[in-house]
Amino acid sequence: MVVAKKISSELSVLPISQARELSLQSTLGELPLYDFSVRSDMRGGEVAQAFQDNPLLPGVILIEHDRLLGMISRRRFLEYMSRPYGLELFLKRPIKSLYLLANSDSLIFPSDTLIVMAARRSLQRSAELLYEPIVVEIEPTVYRLLDAHQLLVAQSHIHELASQLIHQLYQELEKANHELRSLATADGLTKVANRRRFDEYLDNKWHELAREQAPLSLILCDIDCFKDYNDTYGHLGGDACLQQVAYAISAAVKRPADLVARYGGEEFAVILPNTPAAGAVRVAEEIRMNVKALQIRHINSCVEPYVTLSVGVATMVPEPGSIPIDLIAAADRALYESKASGRDRVSICA
């Protein structure tokens, strides 16, 4: 008779600390396994004593001629012992006789089998065999028992880890998509919205406010004498100027629904939904003063020795059948008026 080392009850349930170390690639060999093998000619009474001494032992492994014969679970062993004349039949007879009568089919996996794969296969068994222990082959002729409950608990932890990983990946994907959308709709130099985003947003707000019959205002801003600025300070200086002007414009636009965009080379636009003309003029004037307050030196300006803005404002209540280009054209006319009147001012389309 061969009896391996007795099993500590501490191995009967997967410790939480160990479960947290599991991963999607964890194998059966990482789980607590029961090391209890007996020779097939061992008497049933001795096996009964082993189960009594180890109340958490899920079964025994039967070895015959140094080879695996099979496995008898505690549940099946006690079931046959409790039958009429079970004690008389099996206590003094070899355990092999009970094994052959029970006709137990053992589920055997190599120790490097993924827990998720073993759990899936285990759950495919019939309801009667669902909680039968699993035989794990550590190496040729060396076997251990794995309690099915431990396997399912481990699978549950792995499933939780997988769910967390999927959630994390989803969040990272959402973040990446948001960044991609931002890159697709933002001006690379000034970081405000680009022309594409401007066109989309204006079109959306136009139709939205047409339904609500609410005012939509548009501000167009043009940096005065910007070509001369580039000629004087170079394109790097011009880029820095555009960045500062964009920041100053954004600082004057407070509401989340308002949009600042780079409309063209040195032109910026501001969309102000639900804003009447008087409110739009106030924002436009604040924008003009913010840029002026920067005191960006411009020695060749035709207006002042620093950078200034010409600003045009238009407000419309969108009508059914009208198009956003009507508002753009009105704001552009107001901008032209500001330039024609000496620049560095705000004009509104009447």
Confidence at residue 163, expressed as pLDDT on a 0 to 100 scale = 86
Name, of 60-74, 90-104, 168-182, 278-292, the range with top average pLDDT.
Answer: 278-292
Residue 167 has pLDDT above 60, yes or no: yes
Rounded percentage of the chain residues whose pLDDT exceeds 70: 94
pLDDT, mean over the chain:
88
Domain with CATH 3.30.70.270 in the chain: 186-348
| SS3 state at 25 | coil
Mean pLDDT of 27-47: 90
Give the confidence band of 103 by pLDDT, cuts at 50, 70, 90: confident
Give the angle subtended at the CA of 269 by the CAs of 265 and 270, to the nearest 5°.
155
More confident residue, 17 or 347: 347
Residue 107 token pair: 């589920």
Give the confidence band of 108 by pLDDT, cuts at 50, 70, 90: very high
For 64, 211, 239, the CA distances from 234, given in Å and listed in that order, are 91, 47, 9
Confidence at residue 80, expressed as pLDDT on a 0 to 100 scale = 84
Distance (Å, rounded) from C-alpha 246 to C-alpha 266?
10
Residue 7 has pLDDT above 60, yes or no: no
Whether residue 290 contacts residue 251, with contact meaning beta carbons closer than 8 Å, is answered with: yes
Confidence at residue 341, expressed as pLDDT on a 0 to 100 scale = 95
More confident residue, 227 or 128: 227
Confidence at residue 79, expressed as pLDDT on a 0 to 100 scale = 87
Question: Among 3.10.580.10, 3.40.50.300, 2.60.120.10, 3.40.50.960, what is the CATH number of 9-158?
Answer: 3.10.580.10
Superfamily of domain 186-348: Reverse transcriptase/Diguanylate cyclase domain (3.30.70.270)
Domain with CATH 3.10.580.10 in the chain: 9-158
Residue 234 has pLDDT above 70, yes or no: yes
Whether residue 77 contacts residue 108, with contact meaning beta carbons closer than 8 Å, is answered with: no
Rg (CA), the chain: 40
For 73-77, 225-229, 253-257, 301-305, which range has the lowest pLDDT when averaged over its residues? 73-77
Mean pLDDT of 250-279: 96
- Closest among 331, 80, 136, 102 to 219, alpha carbons compared: 331
Which positions are catalytic? Answer: 266
Give the confidence band of 6 by pLDDT, cuts at 50, 70, 90: very low
Give the confidence band of 169 by pLDDT, cuts at 50, 70, 90: confident
Sheet arrangement for strand 134-139: 108-110, 134-139, 142-146
User: Buried b vs exposed e over 192-220: b needs ≥16 C-beta within 10 Å?
Assistant: bbbeebbeebbeebbeebbeeeebbbbbb
For 122, 159, 261, the CA distances from 30, given in Å and listed in that order, are 17, 16, 57
The pTM score is 0.56
Distance (Å, rounded) from C-alpha 189 to C-alpha 57?
70
Residue where the block lists tokens 């011009």: 238
- Closest among 153, 111, 131, 159 to 18, alpha carbons compared: 153
Instruction: Specify which residues 25 forms β-bridges with.
Output: none
